[in-house]
Amino acid sequence: MTAAVGVDVGGTFTDVVLVADGTLTTTKVPSTADQSEGVVRGIEQACEQAGIDPSEITEFSHAMTVSTNALLEGNGAETALVTTEGFRDVLEIGRQTRPDLYDLDAEKPTPLVQRRNRFELPERTTTEGVRTTPDPEAIDELIDRLRDRDIESVVVSFLHAYVDPSNEQAVAERLRAALDVSVSASHEVLNEFREYERTSTAAVDAYVTPAIDSYIGRLAERAADLGLPQPRIMQSNGGIAEASEIRSHAVQTVLSGPAAGVVGASSTASTGAEHGFEGFVTFDMGGTSSDVSLVRDGSVERTTDNEIDGYPIRVPMVDVTTVGAGGGSIAWVDAGGALRVGPRSAGSEPGPACYGRGGTEPTVTDANLVLGYISEETQLGGELGLDVDAAVAALERLADDAGLGSAREAAEGVFRIANANMTRAIRSVTVERGHDPREFGLVAFGGAGPMHAAALAGDLDIGTVVVPHVGGVLSAYGLLDADETYDAVRTYQTPLSETTGDELEAVYDGLVGELPVDEAAADVSVRRSADLRYRGQSFELEVDAGSPVDTDALRTAFETSHERVYGYAAEEPVEVVNLRVAAAVPRSVPETALPEDTFEKLGEHTAVFGGEEYTTPVYRRPTTPGTTLAGPAVLEQDESTTVVPPAWEATVRENGSLVLTEVQR
């Protein structure tokens, strides 16, 4: 038997996709405080549904939110920083940019390392190499001081360590030998110039690594008890890596879950080609947040310039924009009497009021239930019933606070505001980057994404929405489709005109040698790229370097990219800044048949669209290609619900995806 399982942990639900001998099984269980407990429960439930024993699973892929939660909740490791003498405050100084230009009270995020835990060593590395090595006695004294503190993790970041890391290596090795703590050396995490971004990225790594190491250790033990293979972990770059790699450098997982969803959505690119789209906007709405990204020409958009909660992180990531608007986002009234939604979430415990688990605050899910987008009889995840009276009571309290007349009016307000938040996120990755959203389709997934997708598309003049047949658990599905991926980078600052293709090839060969893959293997693909800029510019553009490297072709590629991004190209000298390699070992989801069509009318009820009430039929979601349904309609499946508004229709495609199209404006 060939059996593979993918498990994605969200803020509210843990999603599981199991493929065993060509049969696809999906399930969704509530997330738990210790995420590994929910993971194991979900796998056991999926195996029970599929009629197999967990020990028959041969591949286990996993995405989680442990590192993201540690950052957002501020409960990561007690971290110390060891840095070059005179640079103790680099994390606090940062860049001379304000979070809000016109807000005189704007504050930067609190540094992850308290000032009392930042230590200096007399050492010096310049752009020419090492000038002064650390004094062994100073290192011994540092070790004693660290022992006296309740330190759980240490980051070592020296000035210009990207040129020659020998000083960092020497200190990191001494600390690892003397202390029972995690040690993150900046050149191992991010071998680039710019000391603030490099130190920040390494500090994030040190801050979250103990939590990730502990979590993966617990999960590995529970997996072994079930007879499961060791988990392989989704990275922020959209690729899978071995757990041992992640346990030592956890910064790679800060966008683990969202990246898996975008990878899963990219498999629908063929549908976009049929419609002549430039690409897709991916829209993943879960219980806590909504994640938006772009897929163009079948490729996932990536970036190395990102931040989480104000902390710069320069490792390669899927380019995702996140807003605090999910099914569990709490609606509230601000001091000025305005209705707001999120970013605070009810999570899975106690969850929205309608979950009947003690939650009393109104959420987006409660609003959707009152508006008729979710049936009263719906069992979320196939097992969680809904309490309509509790949802109405919560929204009535909100209506009183907001000066609205009824629970329905409050629900309509919550729905519109949540959609406005998500629309802004979609505009940020399209309009604000020079893309016309009308030239894109919208791929909707996550537990709540297909419920809101058509409304969002209508607001953005996007005429087509695609809902994959496993849309409610697409992030878990994407885990099975993600390649095994590894990245490496090295700063190599030189004028492009003063280097040769052979010199660049030598650097690239060294970078590939750092990766745990065999470049000569038939199934390994290696992409080489370079960060280039005009002389005097502060930031770079990444362009494909090709193989073999040709410096003239590099300049042409840079000028083309610069003109596309900034509207012009110049005759100025071009500089090489960083060289990058990305190696991928392809993986794919084993072929599966579409699930048996259980299409039937389950009943009908009243739903509200645009302030008007409509008698709306409720169906089990169809899977037979060619089936077409006119809106208004609600299409249910165990993991998610698709809402088809009036003037829209839904058609099942050959791959089981639902394609919603606006037939009347």
Instruction: Give one DSSP letter per residue of 360-385, joined into a string.
Output: -S-BHHHHHHHTTSS-TT--BTTTB-
Domain boundary residue, one of 177, 212, 247: 212
Place of tokens 């006296």: 148
User: pLDDT value at position 380?
Assistant: 57
CB-CB contact of 407 with 366 (8 Å): no
User: pLDDT value at position 423?
Assistant: 94
CB-CB contact of 484 with 243 (8 Å): no
User: pLDDT value at position 310?
Assistant: 83
Question: What CATH number does the domain containing 185 carry?
Answer: 3.40.1360.10
CB-CB contact of 224 with 134 (8 Å): no
Helix (H) or strand (E) holding 34: none
Q: Concatenated DSSP letters for 535-560?
A: TT-SS-EEEE-TTTT-HHHHHHHHHH
Q: Which of 35-44, 235-244, 510-519 is least confident?
A: 510-519
Q: Looking at the structure, tell me whether residues 84 and 187 fall in a common domain.
A: yes
Query: Residues with Cβ < 8 Å from 42, sequence gap 6 or more?
Result: 7, 14, 15, 16, 27, 28, 29
Q: Looking at the structure, tell me whether residues 643 and 565 fall in a common domain.
A: no
Place of tokens 């006119």: 630
User: pLDDT value at position 103?
Assistant: 81
484-492: average pLDDT: 91
Q: Looking at the structure, tell me whether residues 500 and 619 fall in a common domain.
A: no
SS3 501: helix
User: pLDDT value at position 379?
Assistant: 59
Place of tokens 């929405």: 465
Q: Which of 300-304, 376-380, 587-591 is least confident?
A: 376-380
Side-chain-side CA neighbours of 565 within 13 Å: the count stands at 12
User: pLDDT value at position 546?
Assistant: 86
**pLDDT per residue as tens digits for the range 118-166:** 999 999 999 999 999 999 999 999 999 999 988 999 999 999 999 999 9
**pLDDT per residue as tens digits for the range 186-233:** 999 999 999 999 999 999 999 999 999 999 999 999 999 999 999 999
CB-CB contact of 207 with 220 (8 Å): no
For residue 271, pLDDT beyond 70: no
User: Is residue 144 situated within a structural domain?
Assistant: yes
Which is nearest to 157 in space by CA: 87, 95, 208?
87
**pLDDT per residue as tens digits for the range 14-37:** 999 999 988 889 998 888 888 999
Which is nearest to 355 in space by CA: 368, 343, 336?
368
User: Is residue 635 situated within a structural domain?
Assistant: yes
- Ranges of beta strands (E only) in 286-325 are 290-296, 299-300, 302-303, 306-308, 311-313, 317-318, 321-323
629-650: average pLDDT: 91
Domain boundary residue, one of 162, 192, 212: 212
Q: How far apart are CA 50 and CA 24, in angstroms?
A: 8
Q: Looking at the structure, tell me whether residues 554 and 636 fall in a common domain.
A: no
Q: Looking at the structure, tell me whether residues 77 and 187 fall in a common domain.
A: yes
User: Is residue 422 situated within a structural domain?
Assistant: no
Taking the alpha carbons of 516, 521, 525, 528 in that order, is the dihedral positive or negative?
positive
pLDDT band at 492 (very low <50, low <70, confident <90, very high): very high
**pLDDT per residue as tens digits for the range 522-573:** 688 899 999 999 998 988 999 999 888 999 999 999 999 999 888 899 999 9
Residue 76, CA distances (Å) to 79, 214, 215, 224, 614 in order: 8, 12, 13, 27, 49
User: Is residue 275 situated within a structural domain?
Assistant: no
Q: Looking at the structure, tell me whether residues 492 and 578 fall in a common domain.
A: yes
Query: Residues with Cβ < 8 Å from 273, sequence gap 6 or more?
Result: none
Question: What is the Rg, in whole angstroms, of the alpha carbon atoms belonging to the chain?
Answer: 26
What the block records as the tokens of 295 is: 């897929």
For residue 657, pLDDT beyond 70: yes
User: pLDDT value at position 499?
Assistant: 94
Query: Residues with Cβ < 8 Å from 620, sequence gap 6 or more?
Result: 598, 599, 600, 602, 635, 636, 637
User: Is residue 49 situated within a structural domain?
Assistant: no
User: Is residue 618 situated within a structural domain?
Assistant: yes
Q: Looking at the structure, tell me whether residues 566 and 504 fall in a common domain.
A: yes
Q: How far apart are CA 279 and CA 475, in angstroms?
A: 19
User: Is residue 643 situated within a structural domain?
Assistant: yes
| pTM confidence score | 0.86
The top-scoring range by mean pLDDT among 73-77, 98-102, 331-335 is 331-335
Question: What CATH number does the domain containing 541 carry?
Answer: 3.30.1490
**pLDDT per residue as tens digits for the range 582-594:** 998 888 777 777 7
Place of tokens 């008890």: 225
Q: Looking at the structure, tell me whether residues 513 and 569 fall in a common domain.
A: yes
User: pLDDT value at position 549?
Assistant: 92
For residue 273, pLDDT beyond 60: no
SS3 394: helix
621-648: average pLDDT: 91
Q: Looking at the structure, tell me whether residues 92 and 137 fall in a common domain.
A: yes
Q: Looking at the structure, tell me whether residues 622 and 577 fall in a common domain.
A: no
Q: Looking at the structure, tell me whether residues 620 and 497 fall in a common domain.
A: no
Domain boundary residue, one of 212, 244, 271: 212
Report the percent of the chain where pLDDT is more than 90.
60
Q: Looking at the structure, tell me whether residues 151 and 201 fall in a common domain.
A: yes
User: Is residue 277 situated within a structural domain?
Assistant: no
User: pLDDT value at position 296?
Assistant: 82
Q: Which residue has the higher pLDDT, 596 or 662?
A: 662
Structural domains in the chain (count): 3
Helix (H) or strand (E) holding 9: strand 3-9
Which residues span the domain enclosing 181? 73-212
**pLDDT per residue as tens digits for the range 312-357:** 999 999 998 888 888 889 999 998 889 999 888 887 778 899 988 8
